[in-house]
Structure 1
């Protein structure tokens, strides 16, 4: 199975034949009022699907009961959703100028429901900039060519800031093996060792 969502405001769950010859969709009854920008499969007490949209809403769909078991409202439009080391928490990248990241506990009665962090900037990240999680850390690039790394156990300020590309937007940061890979808007790639970042 795989899931898709987009401009039709719907989430489709696709079943793929074993021989990969075809796939058939089922539309889930998840309500969004705008485009769906991120989907994330998680497993806490059961298999679930997180859908996040431009309408500032996050829905958590339980695959076994076939219903939305929890809905959250975010401060701004959600660009990306990431799994964390806790199955009950999700990291969201949102449209904001100083708190671009939200660490959300999606249990019904969380101790700390949301922690927001980020850095001050004049422009939103946008849908085409994406960070990455590794161990207990989160890394994200900015529009000036710098990668910031936060330890999720202490998000007051970045634990590292690495200059990668002078004045070029970093479109994507990926963790790979023992390194971070930063990709600039003009397709240059820089490899960063983890021990430089932590």
Structure 2
């Protein structure tokens, strides 16, 4: 059998090669491509940055989840994994704000229990899970117009992440859904 070698011209190429082999990427300063591209400096400059996510998400009406987590995501052995090596688990602050989250169209008087949620993470590498129960709802307006939508209830759990994958301890904000129509996220 012949050995096929792929060139790693960039730091991203090296990181991808490490990921494919299942190796930890802990010392970028010892890798020429990463030194040349200033990888460690870029990570330091970005360490206090956050993100703003908004939009609409359409999914099948089946159980599932959606989440927000740091790092590049990929599949490894049929498992959803996030590469957190660049961040280091001690640096991840999962403080978050949910301005608006709904499942379907709004109607007068609807209460979306996560609207206006502000969570200050008490320490680094926290994992927040929101378990959502969705109830299909039909709202009839005074003029007879029918609005087919949904209401929901939610329970929040939090724990210190241990650096594993999925609900075993990846730092992030997870929303687990038993069945699911359209989502609006602001």
| Structure showing the higher helix proportion among its residues | 2
User: TM-score by structure 1 length?
Assistant: 0.25
Q: TM-score, normalised by structure 2?
A: 0.26
Bigger strand share: 1
